[in-house]
Copies of this chain bind each other. A is one copy, B any other.
Amino acid sequence: MNRFPIKVTYGIKATIELARHDRSVPLQAKAIAKRQGIPSRFIEQILQGLKRAGIVRSLRGAQGGYTLAQDPSQISLADLVNSMNGNEAIPSTTNSSAGHIENRGASNTILSTIWAQVQEAEQAVLRVISLQSLVEQHQKLESQRCLMYHI
């Protein structure tokens, strides 16, 4: 069973924690790490990346921590995944340089186009999933797990 890169997985988990947390109070990297079982120095790095991407805000110093920069319903999985893939801001459909693919050889041109289609298909899946919906699914699954214990 394949999966997202662990860095992406951790980042998403972190934002889920932030979304579940009171947005007016910053949540510390250490707390996120503990709750999700992530090495705390590692999640710090990831959160810094998310900050640069404008997904989260931070407060330094004692009682500092991280908060979401936007409402969970406004953050898509595409936003999260792209911000953590080094792919700074995938230009959705701003294919400004159409036909300007400077590959020598016909097959390179064709394969570039197909790669773009694959990427777009992936983005289409990720764009329609909001952080909000992740949190809701999370809630639902957790409560199901609770019920199981009562059997």
Contacts and interface: CB of A to CB of B under 8 A. Distances in A.
Contacts of A121: 121-122, 124-125
Interface string A1-20: 11110000100110010000
Interface stretch (A43-51, A55-63, A104-112): A104-112
A149 interface: no
Interface stretch (A26-34, A65-73, A138-146): A138-146
Contact of A4 (B1, B4, B115, B142): B115
Nearest to A117: B125
A111 B2 contact: no
A84 interface: no
A147 to B, nearest CB: 13
